[in-house]
Structure 1
Amino acid sequence: MPQIRLNDCEFHYTDQGSGQPVLLLHGLGSSEQDWEYQIPALSVHYRVLCLDMRGHGGTDKTGKGYSIAQFARDCLAFIEAMGLEKPHIVGLSMGGMIAFQLATDAPEVPASLTIVNSAPEVIPRRPAELWMAGKRLFFAHVLPMSTIAKGLSRLLFPKPEQVNHRQTFIQRWTANHRRSYLASLRAIVGWGVSNQLDRISCPVLVVSADQDYTPVDLKREYVSRMGDARLEVIADSRHATPVDQPDAFNTLLLNFLSQVDSSRVTTTTEPAQAGLSTL
């Protein structure tokens, strides 16, 4: 199990395939297992890396000092340590927030961003939003992880034919280190880089499930405030789109990455070709 020490923490990661690097960032309470249906499809064409955030998966768990900014710093340290040049960054939910933070902190690093069922801020502004955030924090602190896992599994995978997904989710979620999970949840609530979206200079694909927690219109609004960005909606999907609609998601992602790579190659070669034509 590959491990790497970054920022005084021991991280678990995976590294498969070859080619242009793609870094996959998982959601809250999860790990690289978020991407079990993407890694085989992506690694045929790309070098695919997954990093378990501090407090998650096989990475050290202290439950102290967590923030989205810290998670992004960890990712940047990983990118540097692994020698990744212009990686594509794909983030699901909390992973999308980390990707937003990374791209605003270091806009020169990513070749592209793919943001899945996420947003550039989680700042409750209206009374109903404050109520919902407070309720989620309260129940997360008082309920056992197994109870939280069962409730979330029914929201994510409600169909009878998704029973295997529900059982897998419950098993994985219940195994969370409680203090680290709570610290990560607190890191999300109140975080935001919405006022810095103009710093993002790479192409952005925003993927939304049609039945995600947050409405499609919310994604459409923040996409409209970014330069080279587009929104794609996947039907009959909930928050765990890479799991409940893997084929549709993989097709969107692979097409987007291919388009970005083709555009980068064209941009790189055009000046050289122009110079040759004058000889």
Structure 2
Amino acid sequence: MPTSTLPDGVTLHFEASGEGPPILLLHGLGSSGSDWEAVAPRLSAHHRVVVPDARGHGRSDKPAGAYGVALFARDIAALCDGLGLSGVHVVGLSMGGMMGFQLAVDRPDLVRSLTVINSGPDMVARTLRRKLEFAARLGVLRLLGPRALAKRIAPRLFPKPEQEALRRRAVESLGANAPDVYLRATRGLAGWSVLDRLKDVACPVLVLHSERDYTPLSAKQAYTALLPDAWLRVLTDSGHAAPVDQPGQVVDAVEGFLREVESPGRMARPR
């Protein structure tokens, strides 16, 4: 079980496989590196793949105190520094995509490329509906706990009849979170934003949108247009947890993107 102890004493668990240019796979809220079980083996054929559990998640330490995207990203940067990684291809799902954006603006020296899956550069609730949705999630967590929330989330993640096994797995994994830790991690996303810093993202960015994601394609199109070197691809017959329900499409998209990024003499994508 590889681990790395950060400067503040927190220990992060991670898995590593393969050889070559490094890829960092960042998971979603309340989850762990298991998000990438069907993706990492294929990517590790030509790359060194590092899959950490964020602070408060999976097998990593769950210290007291406030959590947040900036803190999660600093942890991951410290992990990479400790492992001697540079020029990293960052791939993030949901909360992991937020961490990727934070890394891209705070540590451009570290991030060679960024792939964002069903995520965005902010979590500011600008409509009454979004505010009520977030308040409802926090309310369920506080009053009923992670397992009750997981039972509500799983059918949205995996709505098809043949996805029953994936629904059960989601309930078990999300429901296993410690209530206080999950609540603090969820609160830590509220109000986060790097939207005004997107113009400073120097690396190429691939935005992946699932047809059944929580947020519409138009939201991804809007922020993709603000990035200097980015393009957007749609994942068909997929929900929010794309690396789980459509790992093949995710791998194909990431591998194609990395071939472009790693090609000799690559220029920024023209607008």
TM-score by length of 1: 0.92
| Percent identical | 42
Helix, strand or coil for the counterpart of 1:23?
strand
Name structure 1 gaps, 5 residues minimum: 269-279
Deviations 1:159-216, CA, capped at 9 Å, x for gaps: 1111111111111111112211111100111111101101110000000101100101
Helix, strand or coil for the counterpart of 2:111?
coil
More displaced 10-residue stretch of structure 1: 250-259 or 166-175: 166-175
Kept after mapping to 2: 8 A contact 1:104/1:200: yes
How far apart are residue 10 of structure 1 and its match?
A: 0.9
Q: What corresponds to 2:106 in structure 1? A: 105
Q: 2:139, 2:69 → 1: CA distance? A: 20
Q: Which amino acid aligns with 1:131?
A: L
Q: 1:194, 1:40 → 2: CA distance? A: 33
Deviations 1:78-117, CA, capped at 9 Å, x for gaps: 1111111201000000000011111111122211000000
Q: What corresponds to 1:254 in structure 2? A: 255
Q: What corresponds to 2:224 in structure 1? A: 223
More displaced 10-residue stretch of structure 1: 202-211 or 171-180: 171-180
More displaced 10-residue stretch of structure 1: 131-140 or 106-115: 131-140
Rg bigger for which structure?
1
Name structure 2 gaps, 5 residues minimum: none
Q: What corresponds to 2:169 in structure 1? A: 168
Name the Cα RMSD after superposition: 1.3
Q: Which amino acid aligns with 2:265?
A: T
Q: 2:109, 2:140 → 1: CA distance? A: 40
Q: 1:124, 1:31 → 2: CA distance? A: 25
Aligned residues: 266
Helix, strand or coil for the counterpart of 1:188?
coil
How far apart are residue 129 of structure 1 and its match?
A: 2.2
More displaced 10-residue stretch of structure 1: 129-138 or 152-161: 129-138
Q: What corresponds to 1:243 in structure 2? A: 244
Q: Equivalences for 1:23-102 in 2 at 5 Å?
A: 23-102=24-103
How far apart are residue 267 of structure 1 and its match?
A: 5.7
- In the TM superposition, structure 1's runs of 4+ consecutive aligned residues that sit over 4 Å from their partners are none
Choose between structure 1 and 2: higher helix proportion: 1
Q: 1:23, 1:61 → 2: CA distance? A: 21
Q: 1:96, 1:27 → 2: CA distance? A: 8
TM-score by length of 2: 0.95
